[in-house]
Amino acid sequence: MQFRVPQFIEIEDKIFGPFTFKQFLYLVGGAGISFVLYRALPFFIAIIFILPIIGFSLALAFYKVNSKPFVFVVEAFIKYYFSQKLYLWKKEEKKRGPKQKGPDEAPLESSPVPRISDSKLKELSWSLDVLDLNKEDSSTTF
């Protein structure tokens, strides 16, 4: 039995004329808020508030940024605005339970770590510094 697989699943269905459901909601919401402001405020003051609201609702309904809806840009802006700008790394402690040893596992013996005296360390660091300076001098001369 063969089934038809939808090919354009990212394209929303047009429900209200040429508008999708989301576009219709954005436009109706903008128109509703504009109507309330028109009725509640004097005309000239209401126009000051109505024009940006209508523009915002039109942008939400139709404008795309990098072929993504404007809603994603608004959402990213809100998340960025309210999030912490300075990130401080906080190490999360891992909860470790008691390690169980199997019967065939023997405890690991620590291998002896060679000790270097302070004078030997100073001599070694001095020789490395001198070698680095010699390399810099030879690389700068042509």
Higher pLDDT, 40 or 132: 40
* Chain centre to alpha carbon of residue 101: 42
Residue 111: other Cβ atoms inside 10 A = 6
Quote the CA–CA distance of 26 and 123 in Å, as a whole number: 75
- CA-wise closest residue to 26 among 64, 52, 4, 56: 56
Question: What pTM, to 2 d.p., does this model score?
Answer: 0.53
Instruction: Write the pLDDT tens digit of every residue in 58-87.
Output: 999 999 999 899 999 999 999 999 988 887
Inter-residue contact 33 to 60 (CB < 8 Å): no
14-61, pLDDT tens digit by residue?
777 788 889 999 999 999 999 999 999 999 999 999 999 999 999 999
> Running DSSP on this structure, what letter comes out for residue 3?
-
